[in-house]
Amino acid sequence: MKKLLFSCLFFTISIITQAQLRLPKLISDGMVLQRNTNLKIWGWAKPKEKITLKFKGKSYKTITDVKGDWQVNLPAMEAGGPFTMEILGNTRVEVKDILIGEVWFCSGQSNMVHQLNIHDVTYAKEIAEANNPQIRQFWIPTLTNLQSPQNDFPNGQWKSAVGEDVRPFSAVAYFFAKKIHEKYQVPVGIINASVGGTPIEAWISEQGFKDFAMQKAIIEKNKDTSYVNSLNRKAIPNNTPQAIDEGLKNTKWFETAYTPKNWRNINIPGYWEDQGIKDLNGVVWYRKEIEIPATMVGKSVKVFLGRIVDADELYINGKKIGNTTYLYPQRRYKVPADVLKAGKNIFVVRVTNNAGKGGFVPDKPYCIFSETDSVDLKGTWQYKVGLVFKPSIMIGNMGISAQNQPTALFNAMVSPVINFAVKGFCWYQGESNTGRPHEYAKLLPALINDWRNQWKQDLLPFLYIQLPGFMDYNYLPSESNMAIVREAQLNTLSVPNTEMTVAIDLGEWNDIHPDNKKDVGERLSLSAMKLAYQENITSSGPIFQSSNIEENKITLLFSNIGSGLVSHDGEVLSDFAIAGEDKKFVWAKATIAGDKVIVWSDEVTKPLYVRYAWADNPVNPNLYNKEGLPASPFRTDK
* Banded pLDDT at 392 (limits 50, 70, 90): low
What is the predicted pLDDT for the residue at 1?
43
The arithmetic mean of pLDDT across residues 436-455, rounded, is 97
Q: Are 354 and 310 contacting, i.e. CB atoms less than 8 angstroms apart?
A: yes
In the prediction, which pLDDT does 296 show? 96
The more confident residue out of 390 and 601 is 601
Mean pLDDT of 23-29: 98
How far apart are alpha carbons 102 and 49 in whole angstroms? 32
Please tell me the least confidently modeled range out of 129-138, 398-407, 415-424: 398-407
pLDDT digits (tens, 9 = 90+) for 2-22: 444 444 444 433 344 456 999
Res 568 pLDDT > 60:
yes
- How confident is the model over 184-190, as a mean pLDDT? 98
**pLDDT value of residue 393:** 55
Mean pLDDT for the stretch of residues 444-468:
98
Cβ atoms of residues 517 and 171 within 8 Å: yes
Q: Going along 9-63, which residue ranges are E strands? A: 32-34, 39-44, 50-55, 58-63
Angle ∠(71,73,74) on CA atoms, nearest 5 = 140
Q: What is the pLDDT of residue 83?
A: 98
Highest mean pLDDT among 12-26, 219-233, 252-266: 252-266
pLDDT score recorded for residue 16: 40
Task: List, for residues 301-348, the tens digit of each pLDDT value.
Answer: 999 999 999 999 999 999 999 999 999 889 999 999 999 999 999 999
**pLDDT computed for residue 230 by the predictor:** 82
Q: What is the pLDDT of residues 122-168, one digit of tens each?
A: 999 999 999 999 999 999 999 999 999 999 999 999 999 999 999 99
Q: What pLDDT sits at residue 602?
A: 96
Kindly indicate the confidence band of residue 235, based on its pLDDT and cuts at 50, 70 and 90: low
Confidence of residue 176 (pLDDT cuts 50, 70, 90): very high
pLDDT in tens, 344-369: 999 999 999 999 999 999 999 999 99
**pLDDT above 70 coverage of the chain, percent:** 95
Per-residue pLDDT averaged across 587-607, rounded? 97
Q: What is the predicted pLDDT for the residue at 15?
A: 41
pLDDT (mean) for 393-412: 83
CB proximity list for 387: less than 8 A, separation 6 or greater? 242, 243, 244, 245, 246, 247, 282, 283
- What is the amino acid identity at position 304? F
Q: How far is 235 from 252, CA to CA, in rounded Å?
A: 35
How many Å apart are CA 440 and CA 434, to the nearest integer?
8
What is the spatial distance between Cα 495 and Cα 483, in angstroms, rounded to a whole number? 20
pLDDT per residue as tens digits for the range 470-520: 999 999 999 999 999 999 999 999 999 999 999 999 999 999 999 999 999
For residue 268, give the amino acid letter: I
d(CA 480, CA 128): 40
Query: In this structure, is the dihedral angle defined by the CA atoms of residues 400, 401, 406 and 407, taken in order, positive or negative?
Result: positive
pLDDT at residue 439 is higher than 90: yes
Nearest to 78 by CA among 186, 180, 209, 163: 186
- Mean pLDDT in residue range 279-290: 97
pTM for the full model?
Answer: 0.91
Give the pairing of strands 131-139 and 188-194. parallel
Lowest mean per-residue pLDDT among 27-31, 242-246, 463-467, 634-638? 242-246
Name the least confident of 5-14, 193-202, 209-218, 506-515. 5-14
pLDDT, mean over the chain: 94
Nearest of 21, 157, 29, 144 to residue 91 by alpha carbon: 21
Tell me the mean pLDDT in the region 22-27. 98
For 379-391, give the secondary structure using H, E and C.
EEEEEEEEEECCC
Q: Is residue 397 scored above 80 in pLDDT?
A: no
